[in-house]
Amino acid sequence: MSKDFILPDIGEGIVECEIVEWLVAEGDTVKEDQPVVEVMTDKAMVEIPAKDDGVVEKLYYQKGDIAKVHEPLFRINAEGDASDDAAPASDDAAPASSDDAETTDFILPDIGEGIVECEIVEWLVSEGDEVKEDQPVVEVMTDKATVEIPAKEDGKVVKLYHKKGDIAEVHKPLFALQPAGGVEPSKQTKDSAQAQQKNTPSQSADGGAEPAQPARQGKAVASPAVRRLARENSINIADVPGSGKKGRVLKQDIKDFVAGDKSASQASTQQQTTTPAQQSGGTRTEAIRGVKAAMAKQMMNSVSTIPHFTYSDEFDLTNLIALREKLKEQYKEQGVRLTVMPFFIKALSLALKEFPIMNAQVNDDCTEVTYFDDHNIGMAVDTKIGLLVPNVKQVQNKSIIDVANEVTRLTQAAREGKVPQADMKGGTISISNIGVIGGTVATPIINKPEAAIVALGKVQELPRFDANGQVVARKMMTVSWSGDHRIIDGGTIARFNKRWQEFLEDPTSMLVNMV
């Protein structure tokens, strides 16, 4: 029997993800736990495995599409006995109606921040009714407002899971729909359905079809999916004439509006009589998604709520680099990649023992400070999908070699965009190594809710005076700290940095401080 695979929770607070790559095609046979699709959330890349053996019948999204958590991702004809086939696709989804194998559940989406349930005020359709994409199906009431929930596609309503007055929960099935022409209607079916919608319910008194109505002044009537399509095309939805009931803007209206702009642009180009020249002055707009969107939100939240201050100093790493060069080949034979970063991380942990306020976090209203026993030190890694900050857990209990192995593992995972969620959570302080790119000084943004972050500049061989007043070449690096000025003052960060510096400039001094 065919059933939908519902996209499960893939991380705390994650409600959608981007389809990066389908690892199977329609018609392929898959096994339980076989990876089916690779998706990108705002934190990492995740592979979604099959729950059953079976044949993939339908992929509901294309590469680059945005898929919603708790909504169908693909359809599979599962192998097994009847009792297995009857099992729901996920804990949150009720079984599709047995009337038709093509039936899919409409999952009640998020309808407001913090809202987890709503009351059914009025069903606007009945079981057996045909509905069109974006047609309102039910009116629900939350603790903040009354909201109309529209259909996502053309089809036939097979089952209403609630009665008027019932309480429906977010992320649970609301009604079952038999999509027109299959789960994913063809473009021809959609076009004819939209034409029928325009001609049938909205005829004027003289029998002709009512023309598309411009969106009313103020907020346009449109579903969230249509609004997102408008944003992705850099369109003010209020400028789009709506062909739906009461001027509702449909997806096809957005597509027609875009096509109209392109046609107008092409016509204008054809009218030009000037000599063709190299194109200039153009622009390109793209959506900010995934990790980049998460970073933008996180950084804005940090700078708007944490009073930052910056402190910089210069480190002499000549002895540290010499020690690392001496040990590098020895440990390489043991499969250990020994860079200078493990020394920085371990030395930071030793300094944190003497300055626990640097490993603390303050609550939002600044009434409490929480001190952490574990030193979970984050490393900002520049990856193909954006900036990721995995952290090495419990550095206070690890040797430099243990830390080196963790740094290698996390760096490799981050560059592949496949860092486990556990490695992204629980950081207490962070290091950003801008020096690998070439920078010297920075003003890093604190990775909230942490209290401090340091940026490492590039190592430069510079002339310095030795103890005898002679000019010698030394390997120098500038470090730049940003601290939360609500709980860390300038004197504290200066003394802490000095202790960290002592460990790094004389790396053998770390030995007597390790447990």
Instruction: Tell me the catalytic residues.
Output: 485, 489
- In the block, which residue shows the tokens 């030795």? 466
- Name the pairing type of β-strands 2-6 and 167-169: unpaired
Six-digit token string for 95: 């079984």
Q: State how far the Cα of 446 lies from the Cα of 428, in Å rounded to an integer.
A: 11
* Long-range contacts, 398-402 (Cβ 8 Å, 24+): 398/346, 399/346, 399/514, 400/342, 400/343, 400/346, 400/510, 401/331, 401/336, 401/338, 401/342
Please enumerate in sequence order all residues whose Cβ is within 8 A of that of 477, keeping only pairs 6 or more positions apart, or say none.
314, 315, 317, 435, 456, 457, 458, 459, 460
Rounded distance, CA 137 to CA 135, Å? 6
Rg (CA), the chain: 29
Whole-angstrom distance, CA of residue 62 vs CA of residue 19:
7
Cα separations in angstroms, 236 against 212, 228, 250, 260, 366: 17, 11, 14, 14, 40
Q: Token pair of 43, please? A: 């934190």
Lookup: tokens for 462: 């510079």
Backbone angles phi, psi at 406, to 5 degrees: -70, -40
Largest CA distance in the chain: 103
Residues linked to residue 456 through DSSP beta bridges, in sequence order: 433, 479
Angle between helices 400-415 and 341-354 (to 10 degrees): 120
**Tokens in use for 364?**
């939002």
Collapsed DSSP state (helix, strand, coil) of residue 447: coil
Closest CA to 480 of 492, 497, 463, 495: 497
Residue type, 91: D
CA distance 452 to 488: 9
